[in-house]
Amino acid sequence: MSLQLTDVSKSFGRLGVLDAVSIDVPRGARLAIVGASGSGKSTLLRIIAGFERPDSGTVALDGRALAGRGADVPAHRRGIGYVAQDGALFPHLTVARNIAFGIRRRPDRARRVRDVMDIASLDPALADRYPHQLSGGQQQRVALARALALEPSVILLDEPFSALDTGLRAHTRTAMVEALDRSGVTTVLVTHDQEEALAFGHQIGVIADGRLVQSGRPSEVFDAPVDAEIAEFLGDVV
């Protein structure tokens, strides 16, 4: 499904965190939002997921409001998957059980677990391992598989590669992009890493102090930053 945010604002007490953020992600597209630490990226994802409520503005899927305009659909009914920075796997459950965790209809479970493991390029032999027996990259792919197992229409990725060392990062990113493409799910990734955003997004958004200051195709954003501050922030890459 397509995802729309319209003028989403959020404060915590007197701290303004998001200021009238609007985004529109077409069905199946990948949006990468890049911004410095503390710029409001995680808060934005938490509002989309339904873990936080916006003070004003709306979040909608295919034009149907989830938050705002009188709507307040709870997180577990949104059909939105969330993958945290450290994967947040259940340490006491095997890979297969982690992935099966939220699947309600029993007859489907084993097949669905195999399917999403395949989509996430996870060797079936890993099914009986525990998270601590996996590499960081494998753990992140299990986290993605667990999210995909619930057949979400949108996946949110909060700095999913930051905890990985450089060697694993590109490989894990490629595997995850392939998995997302195969499942056709609409995706929003947030990161402080410009290179990561560039490699991941069909569209790039730049967030600074809670405002989406620029958005467009990767080449538009990186070749023509709207102001000197953004040029400096993006400068490492170009």
Binding site for ligand ADP (CB under 6 A): 12, 15, 17, 35, 37-43
CA distances from 114 to 101, 123, 140, 156, 203 (A): 14, 10, 17, 22, 31
Name the pairing type of β-strands 80-83 and 154-158: parallel
SS3 151: coil
Instruction: List binders of Mg ion among 41-80 (CB under 5 A).
Output: 41-42
Cβ closest to ligand ADP, residue 41 vs residue 78: 41
- CA dist., res. 217 & res. 203, Å (int): 5
**Min. distance of Cβ 70 from ligand ADP in angstroms?**
24
In terms of Cα–Cα distance, which of 29, 16, 33 is closest to 160?
Answer: 33
- Residue 43 contact among ligand ADP, Mg ion, none, beta carbon within 5 to 8 Å by kind: ligand ADP
> 156 with 49: CB under 8 angstroms?
yes
- Residue 40 contact among ligand ADP, Mg ion, none, beta carbon within 5 to 8 Å by kind: ligand ADP
CB atoms within 10 A of CB 59: 26
- Residue 137 contact among Mg ion, ligand ADP, none, beta carbon within 5 to 8 Å by kind: none
**Min. distance of Cβ 21 from ligand ADP in angstroms?**
11
Cβ closest to ligand ADP, residue 75 vs residue 126: 75
Q: Which residues bind Mg ion (CB under 5 A)?
A: 41-42
